[in-house]
Amino acid sequence: MKLLIATRNRHKLGEIRAILDVPHLDLVSSLDFPEIPDVIEDGATLEANAVKKAVELHRATGLWTIADDSGVEVDALGGAPGVYSARYAGEPCNHANNIAKMLAELGGRPDRTARFRCVMALTGPGFPPQTVEGRIEGRITPAPRGTGGFGYDPIFIPDGYDRTFGELDADTKNRISHRANALAAARAAWSHVLGGAAS
């Protein structure tokens, strides 16, 4: 079965490929379809963006398509940046600027609790879009630590660990992350579509 992963983000693609390692799935991505324009992620929720990407890429290619949208929610910031995580510090998107803005807004606040959320959407021929969600709780550090991962990884410590996502090895992150939890939920919910993926 050919499954299109609706992203051109090579970091995200690498994580999804590593987690969704199912022998009979032929995984392709938006990078394989350069003629298709990027989907404008203008939804008010992670769910809306994930569904929009999945539906538009399925319509353009006819392939079964899985898409995700992820964000970090910081309790002391009222759940921000959430759906606006990628563009938190404005355009053009820049991970360093996003991190700097978050740390400046948090300042010395003692409450650093936060979570990563990931919503996955799947659609295909005769299969209206469905979504599942994964999340991981944690806290925001006072300063970036580590050079691994991408996005907010250098300032997020998952509960039960003393290292940031930026310091953890890829195998550990791919086992516990919000994206890993969402993909596990996807494999369970859509095993009838993905075949042996849930086994």
Contact 69, 142 (CB under 8 A): no
Return d(Cα 96, Cα 100) in angstroms, integer. Answer: 6
Return d(Cα 75, Cα 51) in angstroms, integer. Answer: 26
Contact 136, 158 (CB under 8 A): yes
Return d(Cα 182, Cα 185) in angstroms, integer. Answer: 5
What is the token pair recorded at 11? 């970091």
What is the token pair recorded at 22? 């199912």
Active-site position among 26, 38, 42, 69: 69
Whether 38 is a known active-site residue: answer no
Give catalytic residues, as residue numbers: 69
